[in-house]
């Protein structure tokens, strides 16, 4: 059934022409649907499957606005093979342009929010700002040695976006991680070299020292300023 969901979801996305809320109009009441045979039931089951999956997909749709009635009409026309208001290529071109515009706006918002946050955060007591733009705050100062860039370190950490959303945590996984210090993001490489073993710091990492203009995966957007709570457990 998965292949049906994927195929029809793609068809729906390729057929949508309008992504803006519309004024609701009064619709004539239709008689209740009755499933009288196997084909009816199969057809309805496919609709439930596709509709449920598509609803979940649309929760992630940039911008979030679309007209269900128009979407369903475009889907129905395309599924029947009738002539749509937009051709397949036109629909794709429209979506590409729309998504690019939304993503550009979100990117600029993320960049601006990061710059504003760091400008205000540097004024907070205990926050140190380095020439690179990295900021840190000492939560607990250890008394062990400091790692070098070429060392392998063991840490516990949690990572957060500026909105407070946690995107990663070794604590949640129940075990620390080890890695060469010169094979992680620049903010970590620089920040952890300041920490004696046994220390716990909060690192405020601007996007250019984190995942840059591209972001990382589905959880870290482009131009994201990141906050890490890092405890240096040892040097291996």
Model pTM above 0.75: no
Catalytic residue among 157, 201, 207, 223: 157
CA pseudo-torsion sign 101, 107, 108, 109: positive
Please give the pLDDT value at position 104.
86
Task: Tell me the pLDDT band of 21, cut-offs 50, 70 and 90.
Answer: very low
Q: Which of 170, 152, 144 is nearest to 229 (CA)?
A: 170
Mean pLDDT confidence for 92-101: 91
Q: Is 185 assigned a catalytic role?
A: yes
Is 88 catalytic? The answer is no
Is residue 199 within 8 Å of residue 208, measured between CB atoms?
Answer: no
Lookup result for tokens 């010169």: 182
Is 144 in a helix, a strand, or coil?
coil
| Residue 72 tokens, joined | 């369903």
pLDDT tens for each residue of 171-208:
999 999 999 999 999 999 999 999 999 999 999 999 99
The DSSP annotation for 85-140 comes to: SS-HHHHHHHHHHHHHHHHHHHHHHHHHHHHHHHHHHTTSTTEEE-TTS-EEEEEE
CA torsion, ordered 51, 52, 56, 58, to nearest 10 deg: 10
Q: Please write the tens of the pLDDT for every residue from 104-160.
A: 888 889 999 999 999 999 999 999 999 999 999 999 999 999 999 999 999 999 999
CATH class, domain 111-235, is alpha beta
Which residue reads 């716990």 in tokens?
200
- What confidence tens digit (pLDDT) does each residue in 49-74 have? 998 998 888 877 766 678 888 988 99
* Candidate list 54, 138, 167, 235, residue with the active-site label: 167
Domain limits, the chain: 2-23+32-86, 111-235
Verify whether residue 211 is a known catalytic residue: yes
pLDDT score of 2 more than 60:
no
In sequence order, which residues have a C-beta less than 8 Å from that of residue 7 and are 6 or more positions away? none
> Residue 169 corresponds to which tokens in the numbers above?
């945590």
CA distances from residue 115 to 93, 110, 162, 226, 231 in whole angstroms, order as listed: 33, 9, 11, 12, 26
Across the strands, what pairs with 86?
Answer: none
From 70, 117, 151, 168, active-site residue: 168
The catalytic residue among 211, 220, 223, 227 is 211
- Asked if pLDDT for residue 236 goes beyond 80, the answer is yes
């Amino acid at each position: 059934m998965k292949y049906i969901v994927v195929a029809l979801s793609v068809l729906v996305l390729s057929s949508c022409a309008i992504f803006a809320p519309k004024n609701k109009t009064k619709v004539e009441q239709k008689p209740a649907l009755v499933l009288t045979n196997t084909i009816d039931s199969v057809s309805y089951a496919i609709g439930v499957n596709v509709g449920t999956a598509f609803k979940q997909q649309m929760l992630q749709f940039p911008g979030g606005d679309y007209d269900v009635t128009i979407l369903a009409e475009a889907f129905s026309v395309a599924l029947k093979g009738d002539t749509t208001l937009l051709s397949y290529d036109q629909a794709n071109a429209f979506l590409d342009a729309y998504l690019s515009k939304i993503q550009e706006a979100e990117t600029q918002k993320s960049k601006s929010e990061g710059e504003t946050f760091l400008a205000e955060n540097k004024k907070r007591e205990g926050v140190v700002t380095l020439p690179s733009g990295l900021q840190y705050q000492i939560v607990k100062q250890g008394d062990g040695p400091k790692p070098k860039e070429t060392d392998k370190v063991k840490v516990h950490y949690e990572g957060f976006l500026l909105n407070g959303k946690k995107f990663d945590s070794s604590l949640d996984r129940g075990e620390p991680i080890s890695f060469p210090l010169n094979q992680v993001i620049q903010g970590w490489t620089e920040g952890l070299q300041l920490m004696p073993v046994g220390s716990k710091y909060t690192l405020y990492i601007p996007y250019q020292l984190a995942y840059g203009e591209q972001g990382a995966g589905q959880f870290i957007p482009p131009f994201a300023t990141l906050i890490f709570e890092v405890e240096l457990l040892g040097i291996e």
